[in-house]
Amino acid sequence: MNRVEVLERLEPIMDTQLREVDHNPRTRVMVATDQVSLRPGGGKRILEVTPGGVMSLVKYTGLPEPVAKNIRPETFGMVATELLAHKGHYSVVLKNGAVTNFVRRGEYRNTNPERALQAIEAGVRGADFHRVLILDNLVAQIEVVGEERQPVSRGDLVQAGAMVQFSPIGTIDPMVQAYALRLACTNGMTHNEILREFHHGGGGGEGDDIWQWFRRSVREAYQAINPIIQRYRGMMDELISPEQRAQVLTAMLREAKITGGPADAVRAMAIENPPENRYQMMNLISYASSHLLERPDQVRRAQNTVADYAHEHTDHRECPLCHRHN
């Protein structure tokens, strides 16, 4: 998948923008025929406020919800305008030109997705975008792999990469994790340690340049393949006794919240090819995250479960997920 294809998949959150508002005497919250609108200052530009945006306005201004629901529409407009005036400076989140959220000035910051992708490509040699997920809160999760490949064992190649999360309007601080794509069945795995996390106002790169941070962080994640491979090889030596397999698999499915058909498919795979070590057990859940689960939040949950299970400090004498002695 190339950059253009990634941007196409990000379209559902690309039309979300952040606009700063400097409240002045001509700023108005207006209510007419059950429609709330915002006129942010002078001029004729009027922004529709969605129902969710109205609830955000109520919460942001501190107007008690029961009061907001019971006062007359024109009174609501006057009170909301006055309360916003006390804030002075704030930002509104726009989706398709309508206000969906009111936030403190500086709480969110725009992050240009195309520039972020360019920086990611600069950090990974031969970058290829493997998968794009849109998570809650306008967050994009992008899995990228490069040219570097190493074997865990003969015939079991793993491709180095990075997993990046960011929001076009900065609802989260961008975050980068090491990522490895197992080519035997194209299932991808993230790793427990968050290698780099950008915090606005500190540590993002030279001059706090977020684009340099993206490039450097992704490169660091991509270059983490050696210890990852060593960890996987070590997991192959960490055997699981036959009487413990079902218990460990059940704990992992529960932690990953994999139920129904996907859980049955994983159990069938375990019966067909019983996992004899931790590496094989890990790949059952990783396969589910890549092939059986569809909802982005389910995929991310399964990835986190795999990362926790593969962590080198997990006590092998305990079930690593229910934390009870086997």
Q: What is the DSSP string of 221-279?
A: HHTTHHHHHHHHHHHHTSB--HHHHHHHHHHHHHHHT--HHHHHHHHHHHHHS---BHH
Q: What is the pLDDT of residue 1?
A: 92
pLDDT at res. 91: 94
Shared domain for 54 and 27, answered yes or no, is yes
The pLDDT score that the predictor gives to residue 43 is 65
Give residue 185's pLDDT.
84
Domain C-terminal end among 47, 69, 104? 104
Point out the domain boundary residue: 182, 202, 226: 226
Q: Can you give the residue range of the structural domain that contains 92?
A: 14-104
The pLDDT score that the predictor gives to residue 173 is: 87
The CA-atom distances, in angstroms, between 221 and each of 78, 112, 216 are: 52, 21, 9
**Residue spans of the chain under pLDDT 70:** 42-43, 192-196, 199-208, 312-326
281 and 219 in a common domain: no
> Does residue 299 belong to any structural domain of this protein?
yes
**According to the model, what pLDDT value does residue 106 have?**
85
Q: 119 and 208 in one domain?
A: yes
Residue 316 resides in a domain = no
Long-range own/partner contacts, residues 64-68 (CB < 8 A, 24 or more apart): none
Find, among 108, 224, 95, the residue nearest to 159 by Cα. 224
Prediction pTM value: 0.81
* 144 and 216, same domain (yes or no): yes
**52 falls within a domain:** yes
**Total count of domains within the chain:** 3
Q: Are residues 173 and 207 part of one domain? A: yes
In a domain, 5, yes or no: no
Q: So what's the pLDDT on residue 203? A: 43
Decide which of 179, 198, 226 is a domain's last residue.
Answer: 226
Residues 92 and 141 in one domain: no
Together in a domain, 124 and 209: yes
Interhelix angle 260-272/242-256, nearest 10 degrees: 160
Residues 34 and 93 in one domain: yes
Q: What is the pLDDT of residue 195?
A: 65
What pLDDT does 226 receive?
93
pLDDT in tens, 65-99: 999 999 999 999 999 999 999 999 999 999 988 99
